[in-house]
Amino acid sequence: MKPQYWFRWFSVQGLPRLVLRTQARRGQPFAQLMGGPQGFTDPYPLIEQLRGQGRLVRTPIAWASADHELIRAILRDPRFGVRANQSFDLPAPLQRFVERYPLPPNPVEPPSMLVIDPPDHTKMRRPVAAAFTPRAIRRLRERVETVTEELLEELPSGGSADLIAAFAAQVPIAIISEMLGFPREDKGMFLAWGDAATPLLDIGISRKAHRTALDAMEVMNDYLDGHIERLRREPGEDILSSLVTAGELDTYGLKATASLLMGAGFETTVNLIGNGVVQLLSHPDQLARLRAEPELWPNAVEEVLRIDAPVQTTARSALEDVEIAGIRLRKGNTVVVSLAGANRDPGVFEDPTRFDVGRENAKDHLTFSSGVHVCLGASLARMEATYALRALFDRFPDLQLAGPPQRRKLFTLHGYEQLPVRLGTRAHTPATSAV
Tens digit of each residue's pLDDT (9 = 90 or more) over 142-184: 999 999 999 999 999 999 999 999 999 999 999 999 999 998 8
Is residue 116 within 8 Å of residue 82, measured between CB atoms?
A: yes
Is residue 78 within 8 Å of residue 67, measured between CB atoms?
A: no
The pTM score is 0.93
391-428 residue pLDDT tens: 999 999 999 999 999 999 999 999 999 999 999 999 97
CB neighbourhood size of 380 (10 A): 25
Closest alpha carbon to 121 in 323, 353, 301, 372:
372
Torsion over CA: 79, 80, 86, 91 (sign): positive
Contacts of 127 by beta carbon, 8 Å cutoff, 6+ apart: 242, 243, 246, 248, 249
* The predicted structure's pLDDT at residue 12: 80
330-367 residue pLDDT tens: 998 999 999 999 999 999 999 999 999 999 999 999 99
- Report, as an integer, the average pLDDT of 77-101: 67
Residue 86 has pLDDT above 50, yes or no: no
- Report, as an integer, the average pLDDT of 288-313: 97
Confidence of residue 131 (pLDDT cuts 50, 70, 90): confident
Taking the C-alpha atoms of residue 431 and residue 146, their distance in angstroms, rounded to an integer, is 11
Residue 84 has pLDDT above 80, yes or no: no
263-283 residue pLDDT tens: 877 889 999 999 999 999 999
* The predicted structure's pLDDT at residue 97: 59
Pairing of strands 57-58, 63-65: antiparallel
420 or 131, greater pLDDT: 420
* The predicted structure's pLDDT at residue 94: 60
CB neighbourhood size of 225 (10 A): 14
Q: Where are the domains of the chain?
A: 3-422
- Average pLDDT over the chain reads 90
* The predicted structure's pLDDT at residue 156: 96
222-261 residue pLDDT tens: 999 999 999 999 999 899 999 999 888 889 889 989 988 8
Query: What is the topology classification, in CATH, of domain 3-422?
Result: Cytochrome p450 (1.10.630)
Residue 432 has pLDDT above 70, yes or no: no
Residue 47 has pLDDT above 70, yes or no: yes
- Report, as an integer, the average pLDDT of 316-333: 94
* The predicted structure's pLDDT at residue 423: 97
Residue 88 has pLDDT above 60, yes or no: no
- pLDDT over 70, % of the chain: 93
